Amino acid sequence: MAISKSKVGGELPPAERQRGREPAGSFGSTIDHLHFKQMSPSDLEEIMRIERASFAYPWSARFFLQELGVPCSRSLLAVTSGKTVGYIIYWFLASEIDIHNLAVDPVYRRQGIGRSLLHAVIDEARGRGLSRVTLEVRKSNQTARRLYESVGFAVQGVRRGYYSDDGEDALAMVLEFKEKSSAA
């Protein structure tokens, strides 16, 4: 999952511009002065710290850098007091956003950061008139599944052996928008 040229030097997503990079507290974060910025290669050290602390089978630094070059890829870093505390990576597809990775620093979990990142992406999808947001989650990751369900995602199916590192199944989840906006 990579960040495209527009992610590195381009414009912030509409949801971020609307917030003026102000604190994301409206999404329920308990962190003061939480704001979002686009991921860049200079953020890789902090991203890898969070990635390794979050996953038994973390993405490699090379994979993150490759993601930065995918034209449809976007990302947001959650930052407070100059410290990266979480991130989300997602792709714009024809009529939807597909979330590829979401992680929050273990020290900052359960403070609404993951929820804030999800809401920023959901707002982006709605603002662009897309019809849905999709993701895959490990079947065993009950914490993430509860978070996704709490913002409206529903299990759409099972992808058997989806994770190549250990063969675990993934749950395919989707958040469908009842009305597609005309902002496309």
Give the residue numbers marked as catalytic: 136, 148
Q: Which residues contact 58 (CB under 8 A, 6 or more apart)?
A: 48, 51, 52
Q: Residues near 95 by Cβ (< 8 Å), separated by ≥ 6?
A: 130, 131, 132
Question: Order of strands, edge to edge, in the sheet holding 83-92?
Answer: 35-37, 73-80, 83-92, 96-104, 132-138, 170-176, 154-159
Alpha-carbon distance of 167 to 87, in angstroms, equals 25
β-bridge mates for residue 53, sequence order: none
